[in-house]
Amino acid sequence: MSATPPPLPPVVRAFVDAANAQDTAAWLRTFAPDGAVDDWGRVFTGYEALRGWSDAEFIGAHVTLDVTEVSAGPDEGDVTVLAQVGGDGFNGPSHFAFTVREGLIALMRITA
């Protein structure tokens, strides 16, 4: 019997829910104003850059995220999510490492 993964921090749950709902505005609200996405070394910082990345490669590609594992990171506010990704772009398992500060995402890294 597998253990239940720890719960997602509320802002990470909102990130996943907004992505699955294809709701770009709600997805952007999960980020700090200077929040960033690191997509395999390509870094997009701030709302305008995040929207451009998402429109082309995330929500614009009809992403779906089915969270299968959650693990705490080394620092408080850090969490890594393993999700099965679907949509019109990459499909398969991927890790999303979140740095949460003051209730918002400061950084989301896609690692593997």
Q: Does any domain span residue 52?
A: yes
> What confidence tier does 7 reach under pLDDT thresholds 50, 70, 90?
confident
Which residues are CB-contacts of 85 (< 8 A; sequence separation ≥ 6)?
63, 64, 65, 91, 92, 93, 94
pLDDT at 69 over 60: yes
One-letter amino acid of 50 = L
Decide if 95 contacts 81 (C-beta within 8 A). Answer: yes
Please check whether residue 50 lies inside any domain of the structure. yes
Per-residue pLDDT band at 5 (split at 50, 70, 90) = low
Residue 1 forms part of a structural domain:
no
What is the model's pLDDT at position 32?
98
CATH number of residue 43's parent domain: 3.10.450.50
For the chain, give the mean pLDDT.
Answer: 92
pLDDT of residue 100: 95
- For residue 3, pLDDT over 60 is answered with no
Residue 2 falls within a domain, yes or no?
Answer: no
Q: Is residue 5 part of a domain?
A: no
